[in-house]
Every structure is written in C-alpha cells, then in structure tokens.
Amino acid sequence: MTSPWELDRDALGQLLAEQPRYRIDQVWRGLYDQGLLPSEISTLPATLRDQLDQSLSPALKLVTQAVSDDELTLKSLWHLSGDTAIETVLMHYPSRSTVCISSQAGCAMGCGFCATGQAGYQRNLTVGEILEQVVTARNAAKPRRLSNVVFMGMGEPFANYDRVMQATRRIIHDLGIGARKVTISTVGLIPQMRRFAEEDLQVGLAVSLHAANDELRTTLVPINKRNPIGELVEAANLVRQRTGRRVSFEWAMIDGVNDRDSDARELAVIARKAQAHVNLIPLNPTPGWPTVGSPEVRVREFAALLDELGVNATIRRNRGNEIDAACGQLRANHEPTPVQLATKRAQAR
Ligand code: SAH
Ligand code: SF4
C-alpha cells in the first residue's frame, strides 16, 4: 500500500490514466488543498473512490495524542509500517503555527543526550510519510493556518537526504508552505551540507553545534569525528553564500558542560566566522544521560555574553515539556513514553 501523498502529480496522472483530466484535478485538490483521504473526496464517484482505496491508504496510524501549554502544543504519536513509531509536534504561537516533523524512525547518529539517539535507528521515512505528517498537522491546526515546518523531530534529515529534499520541494510546491518557512535541522553532515548549498532552495538550515571545540563536540556528537568544526564552518559559509540565508547554530545548554563563559567565547568566534545566528535551548532531561539542562539564569547570562561578543542569540523556550514533546526528544523522566509503550505493546504481540 502506498500513502496517498507519496504520489506526485505525474504519478497520480499515471494511476488515473483512464480518467478524464478533471477527475485527476479533483483528486489532487482533495488531497493537497483540502487534506482529504481519497475516500473522503465526496465529489468523486463511489467506484473511483473504491479504486483509489485499493491502492492508496494512509501510512500514519494514530496511536495517541497529547496536548499541553494550554492546548498550544499537540503531540501526535503515529504507528508506521515495520512496527515502528514516530512523533509529530504541532506548536501554535501568536503569529505562526509550526509543525515539527520526523525524517527517520529513530536515528543512527548516537548523540548521547538525545532520546532518539539513545533508542537507535529503525528506518528512513518515505516521502509520503513525511508529507502526511504535514498534511495531518495542517488539518489539526484548523482554523489556524499551518505556516512553518521544521525537520527537528526524530531522525537526521541529511542521513535520508534524497527523500527529505524531495519532500521539502513538495511541501513548498504542493502544500503551499513558503520555502523560507521551512527549516531543516542537521547534526552537521558536511558532504550533504555542501549538496544542500547547491539545491537552489530558500529553505533555512539549522546546524546542531552544541560545542565549539572538536574535543568536547566529539563527546556530545560522535559524528564530529568525521565532520569536524573547521569544515563545518566552511560548509555553513558555502550554504550562506549559495542560498543567501545564514545558517543558525543550535546549542542545547548542558549544565557545567557547554554553558561556561569560555564556551560562549569559543562559540562567538565560530558564529562570527560562519555569520550564524545562535539558538539556545536548555537541554531536556532524558533518562539515558546524566547531565541536566542549564538553569534559566545561566541561559540568560550566556545569551547576554554572546550578545556582548557581537553574536545574535535567541533563547528558545522548550515547548511541551510536560508531554515530553520537545521535538523528538520525547522520553519521559519517570514513565515510558508512548513510543516506548507502543514498542512494548508491539513486542508483546
Ligand atoms: N538530527 C537533527 C534533527 C533532529 S534533533 C539534528 O540533530 O539537528 C533536533 C534538535 O534537538 C537538534 O538541535 C538536537 O541537538 C536537539 N536535541 C536533541 N536532544 C535534545 C535534548 N535532550 N534537549 C534539547 N535539545 C535536544
Ligand atoms: Fe540524531 Fe539529531 Fe538526536 Fe543526534 S540529536 S541522535 S542527530 S536526532
């Protein structure tokens, strides 16, 4: 079975080759403008709906949803084929609504502080699975308009490069989200960053830096061994030159590990070299990592020091903490998360 959103316009035309053109338009508008399943497109004859139902069905099966932050954050847990699960988080802000989507089930990059990394890698998501997360979030956001998409859920987008780029193009063209409203977050895979620079896309790129010297960064982000900071800065500059957009550096603030004044000074040097903006996020606690996030006051001091050193820094508030929904970092402190429960249930079957 294929996700209805796996097919691009040409593939849909081929599937419906026997149908008059206006029928194909009807199906396309139903799927992409209205976010309907083929069986819900009431303007289609029943026979055509049945025909479509036989070859297309949703890839994401809802396991559970949780709301928090006065209903401004909605986390959805989806079951996927291959007995795996992913999470999608919809966040409403006064001026925008953002969905945080997953690009892989699990992740192979092994960052120790990350709940997804601790759980290991299952598989790459398909283009349809990625698009479906956006379509369902757009439906759930109503009557608000889904305005932004960030690839900051589970997985490393650049380890699933071709599908993520194809999905990104289709999020822009077929779902009508502005390219500048899409952000891909990468752990910093340099060959893919260089490729991304040549994609001719206005999409934003966030690089998860977390440490500004190779020794510390390698302990936090093991792929730093093959993707060292010096080359990372060069790649970030290439992205800025080719796309016209500065990259941002993500910095999860870890108490006593990367939140000292010396860290801010090192970071400032690198951020200036890359002309990057810095996003500070206090680390979310995860059961598999001993260290906790920096206290709020330290986060503010760190931001102020960066500012003094001529670097633009923003403090990002963690969203959905009480439902473990900080974008892919979803493990509970004391209880298994829905992902773990679903996995247990699947194993018990
Ligand atoms: N794999 C990509 C995108 C998914 S992770 C990447 O690493 O960039 C999205 C962001 O969440 C990354 O910046 C990541 O470093 C950060 N992150 C991971 N675990 C976290 C935690 N426990 N607390 C805060 N941020 C975390
Ligand atoms: Fe993977 Fe990103 Fe988590 Fe690292 S932080 S393990 S790259 S999802």
Per-residue pLDDT tens listing for the chain (349 residues): 899 999 999 999 999 999 999 999 999 999 999 999 999 999 999 999 999 999 999 999 999 999 988 889 999 999 999 999 999 999 999 999 999 999 999 999 999 999 999 989 999 999 999 999 999 999 999 999 999 999 999 999 999 999 999 999 999 999 999 999 999 999 999 999 999 999 999 999 999 999 999 999 999 999 999 999 999 999 999 999 999 999 999 999 999 999 999 999 999 999 999 999 999 999 998 888 888 999 999 999 999 999 999 999 999 877 765 555 454 554 333 234 444 444 444 444 4
Q: Whose CA is nearest to atom 8 of ligand 1?
A: 186
Query: What pLDDT was estimated at residue 320?
Result: 63
Q: Is 209 in the pocket of ligand 2 (CB under 6 A)?
A: no
Active-site residue, from 100, 107, 114, 327: 327
Are the C-beta atoms of 315 and 299 separated by less than 8 Å?
yes
Q: Is 250 in the pocket of ligand 1 (CB under 6 A)?
A: yes
Q: Give the fold, CATH level 3, of 187-318.
A: TIM Barrel (3.20.20)
Query: What pLDDT was estimated at residue 329?
Result: 52
Domain 4-55 class, CATH top level:
mainly alpha
Residues of the chain with CATH 3.20.20.70: 187-318
Q: How many CB atoms lie within 10 A of CB 41?
A: 18
Catalytic, 111? Answer no
Are the C-beta atoms of 238 and 193 separated by less than 8 Å?
yes
Looking at the DSSP bridge assignments, the partners of residue 249 are 207, 278
Measured from the alpha carbon of residue 331, the closest ligand is 1
Q: Is 136 in the pocket of ligand 1 (CB under 6 A)?
A: no
Catalytic, 327? Answer yes
Query: What pLDDT was estimated at residue 1?
Result: 80
Q: For residues 28 and 55, give the distance between their C-alpha atoms in angstroms, rounded to a whole number.
A: 15
Q: What is the pTM assigned to this prediction? A: 0.93
Tokens of 82: 């291959």
Are the C-beta atoms of 115 and 330 separated by less than 8 Å?
yes
Q: For residues 200 and 208, give the distance between their C-alpha atoms in angstroms, rounded to a whole number.
A: 22
Residues of the chain with CATH 1.10.150: 4-55
Q: For residues 37 and 13, give the distance between their C-alpha atoms in angstroms, rounded to a whole number.
A: 17
